[in-house]
Structure 1
């Protein structure tokens, strides 16, 4: 069908009317198309494309080493050879990959740092989880001088309470164009039974910071 020839076969008034209707349809179609595209973009941003915070949690925690010992005579001596073995579980809830950089985990006794461990970087695929091992060795020589007496009492009393803090920075990539930087953190308190060398209780809190 040759529209141009058909238009030429019409009277001038008819041609103007036809062109007017076409312009009207075009003017109505463009805003409608833009509106539909905006609705689709809004739905995607609220569902599929909405960034979700990656989370880190403690899957398991065990102890290894030798039970702490205290010698009172002739010289006060504390033997501490304990390693806290933690399996961290990082869950990526996004529809896009989560790449995390080197992380860090520390262990504290009465607020003072007595051990630390570096966590390797990596990448977690969309909607997947990955385990990350972390070995924290408690170093007695890092116990603050004012806390030595408390450590002796705790060991003799059969319970030593320590805390671990873990920080894993990373970013969520959206089609390699948009990036959202996040830091997944966890803080746990462990009660270690002495001399049984068992974790009697565990209390953890998790958070994601921007």
Structure 2
């Protein structure tokens, strides 16, 4: 009788071990196929510029506003929480404008757009040594850098931290009140 109990115990242990192995394989497959955290895709674009006033004499005046739109696509099955979205505008490497959009959250498998309006400090632009040359050429080269940093948490356990930096260059023509086509480069830092 003791021998029969040993066989039943061994059989039950074997079945239990097989069930645990199958469950582990299913969990690993689900993690890599479905629940694996992925970095969000972020794109920033200069969608418009407004020149409300431009003159050189008697006193230089340039009132310029750049509109930047940041679009983030979250491919995860969990929400993506991001901190403040910071957009900096530079003219020949000098900071001439900055906008901060408050922190937020993008739902699971959703896309969200965040708009930022940056008022350009015209005094800084006009008193650089580059402004007379660019003004004669008719186009002011600006660079915008937008930084989005956040974290996605899947199943309350698996975390992925992501920081995306999108840099765009755009030429603004104040006399014609128009901007050129922006050229953007996106860099993603995961981990």
TM-score, normalised by the number of residues in structure 2 = 0.89
Q: Is residue 94 of structure 1 aligned with residue 80 of structure 2?
A: no
Compute the displacement of 1:177 (Å).
4.1
Higher-RCO chain (CA-CA 8 Å, sequence separation at least 6)? 2
RMSD of aligned residue pairs (Cα, Å): 2.0
| Preserved contact between residue 62 and residue 199 of structure 1 (Cα < 8 Å) | yes
Q: Map Cα deviations across residues 96-126 of structure 1 (whole Å, 9 max, x no partner).
A: 0011121211000111100000111111100
Q: Map Cα deviations across residues 141-180 of structure 1 (whole Å, 9 max, x no partner).
A: 23495xx231121112111111000112211122344433
Q: Equivalent of 1:133, from 107, 110, 115?
A: 115
Q: Is residue 181 of structure 1 aligned with residue 161 of structure 2?
A: yes
Count of residues in Structure 1 that have an aligned counterpart in Structure 2: 190
Where do 5+ consecutive residues of structure 2 fail to align?
A: none
Where do 5+ consecutive residues of structure 1 fail to align?
A: 1-14
| Preserved contact between residue 78 and residue 152 of structure 1 (Cα < 8 Å) | no
Aligned residue for 1:53, secondary structure, equals coil
| Preserved contact between residue 67 and residue 195 of structure 1 (Cα < 8 Å) | no
Q: Which residue of 1 aligns with 2:87?
A: 105
Compute the displacement of 1:184 (Å).
2.2
Q: Which residue of 1 aligns with 2:101?
A: 119
Q: Which has the larger radius of gyration?
A: 1
Aligned partners of 2:51 and 2:156: how far apart in 1?
Answer: 45
| Preserved contact between residue 44 and residue 146 of structure 2 (Cα < 8 Å) | no
Q: Equivalent of 1:161, from 141, 154, 164?
A: 141
Aligned partners of 1:59 and 1:186: how far apart in 2?
Answer: 9
TM-score, normalised by the number of residues in structure 1 = 0.82
Q: Which residue of 1 aligns with 2:38?
A: 52
Q: Equivalent of 2:181, from 192, 201, 207?
A: 201
Runs of 4 or more, structure 1, over 6 Å off, are none
| Preserved contact between residue 55 and residue 206 of structure 1 (Cα < 8 Å) | no
Q: Is residue 83 of structure 1 aligned with residue 65 of structure 2?
A: yes
180-189 vs 88-97, which deviates more? 180-189
Aligned partners of 2:188 and 2:54: how far apart in 1?
Answer: 35
Aligned partners of 1:67 and 1:54: how far apart in 2?
Answer: 39
Aligned partners of 1:111 and 1:144: how far apart in 2?
Answer: 14
